[in-house]
């Protein structure tokens, strides 16, 4: 199409009124089209180098291997014990985490014939909008985002906890992080905000441990069932190798998937009808009906006082023969409740969560001992 100008006409150019970069580039220099909002790219230690710096001890490896094997047996139905993932909502103080692990070591030894207890050690926190993202991303809790320090702190803590003989469960959020930590993790959760993500389903298909998929925050359970089906299949996707190089990751699929019911914004879903519906959905998809119940989050209305009631209700269902229930999650800390992160970090209360509310240690002991008593009777009935 051609445009004709009448004789004597002039061309006027409007001044750009937007804030977007639209200045004329110097002749011969192309317009910049990438990294326009990136302030800095900082090289990071490679997974291989960090593992060499902080190698897994034989004791830590034994803890991981033994626990993964036990979990596989429970998911396969050959081990009738109950899995319990218990610990702080998030780790912000390694010293308090080690104290918690020391206490848990003694308690789990008391109940190991009935419960397979793992410590909840969460280093990554998904945020609905903004907020503290966890020890790996901001270990100093001051917005400095010293991720290199965070990765070292996380791996060092995993080594120490596993060396005690206490296995670890965590949420995998960033698909690069597993290269730095996964060798020390016995169980993984894919969170409610990421269960529907193809990236996380692909990642789960290559992980070396059992993976639990949470229902979505709006309560949708089918997306978690779909995620299990996806993760048990082979995938090819982009990732990094131990030397930090971009690589095509080809996976065989992970058959050790299970469902985590965590409630929703509007209602809990640990009741018998919800568990039956979830089991039916898994069966219809050709999956084993293996369900873990999260006693916190939507099931407790994010109130730590309600976690114990959820715990008792679910144990009652298991004792009445609901074998689809294979485990429970519990948010627990040295002290009950939660606290905001203060501007003066010296004012942080020791052993108190900085994210979701947690039950305190005394309540944790009471709940786990009660759980062991219930499961002792269940196991006795199931023994020929």
pTM across the whole model: 0.91
Task: Name the token pair of 353.
Answer: 């969560």
Return the CATH number at 193: 3.20.20.70
- What residues make up the domain containing 194? 47-382
| 16 is a domain residue | no
Blockwise average pLDDT, block size 10, the chain, 384 residues: 46 45 62 93 96 98 98 97 98 98 98 98 90 96 96 98 98 97 98 96 98 97 98 98 97 98 96 98 97 97 96 98 97 98 96 98 98 97 76
What's the confidence (pLDDT) of residue 198?
Answer: 97
Phi, psi of 290 (to 5 degrees): -115, 115
Angle between helices 198-206 and 222-231 (to 10 degrees): 40
| 212 is a domain residue | yes
How many domains does the structure of the chain reveal? 1
- Between CA 99 and CA 96 the distance in angstroms is 5
| 137 is a domain residue | yes
What's the confidence (pLDDT) of residue 128?
Answer: 78
| 308 is a domain residue | yes
What's the confidence (pLDDT) of residue 27?
Answer: 65
């Amino acid at each position: 199409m051609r445009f004709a100008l009448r004789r004597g006409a002039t061309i006027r150019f409007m001044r750009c009124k937007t804030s977007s970069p639209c200045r004329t580039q110097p002749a011969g220099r192309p317009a910049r089209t990438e990294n326009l909002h990136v302030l800095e790219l900082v090289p990071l230690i490679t997974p291989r180098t960090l593992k060499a710096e902080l190698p897994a001890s034989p004791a830590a490896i034994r803890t991981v291997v033994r626990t993964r094997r036990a979990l596989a047996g429970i998911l396969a139905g050959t081990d009738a014990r109950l899995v319990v993932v218990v610990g702080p909502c998030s780790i912000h103080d390694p010293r308090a985490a080690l104290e918690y692990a020391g206490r848990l070591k003694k308690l789990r030894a008391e109940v190991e014939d009935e419960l397979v207890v793992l410590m909840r050690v969460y280093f990554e926190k998904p945020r609905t909008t903004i907020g503290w993202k966890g020890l790996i991303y901001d270990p100093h809790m001051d917005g400095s985002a010293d991720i290199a320090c965070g990765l070292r702190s996380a791996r060092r803590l995993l080594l120490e906890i596993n060396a005690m003989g206490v296995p670890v469960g965590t949420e995998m959020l960033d698909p690069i992080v597993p290269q730095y930590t996964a060798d020390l993790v016995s169980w993984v959760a894919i969170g409610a905000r990421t269960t529907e993500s193809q990236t996380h389903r692909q990642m789960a298909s290559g992980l070396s441990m059992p993976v639990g998929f949470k229902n979505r925050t709006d309560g949708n359970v089918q997306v978690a069932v779909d995620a299990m089906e996806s993760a048990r299949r082979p995938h090819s996707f982009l990732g990094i190798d131990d030397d930090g190089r971009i690589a095509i990751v080809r996976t065989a699929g992970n058959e050790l998937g299970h469902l985590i019911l965590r409630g929703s914004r509007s209602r809990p879903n640990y009741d018998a009808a919800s568990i039956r519906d979830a089991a039916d959905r898994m069966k219809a998809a050709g999956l084993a009906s293996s369900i873990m119940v999260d006693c916190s989050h939507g099931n407790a209305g994010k109130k730590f006082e309600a976690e114990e009631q959820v715990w008792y209700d679910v144990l009652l269902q298991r004792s009445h023969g609901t074998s689809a229930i294979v485990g429970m999650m519990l948010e627990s800390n040295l002290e009950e409740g939660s606290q905001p992160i203060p501007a003066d970090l010296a004012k942080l209360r020791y052993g108190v969560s900085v994210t979701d509310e947690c039950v305190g240690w005394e309540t944790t002991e009471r709940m786990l001992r009660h759980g062991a008593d219930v499961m002792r009777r269940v196991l006795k009935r199931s023994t020929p």
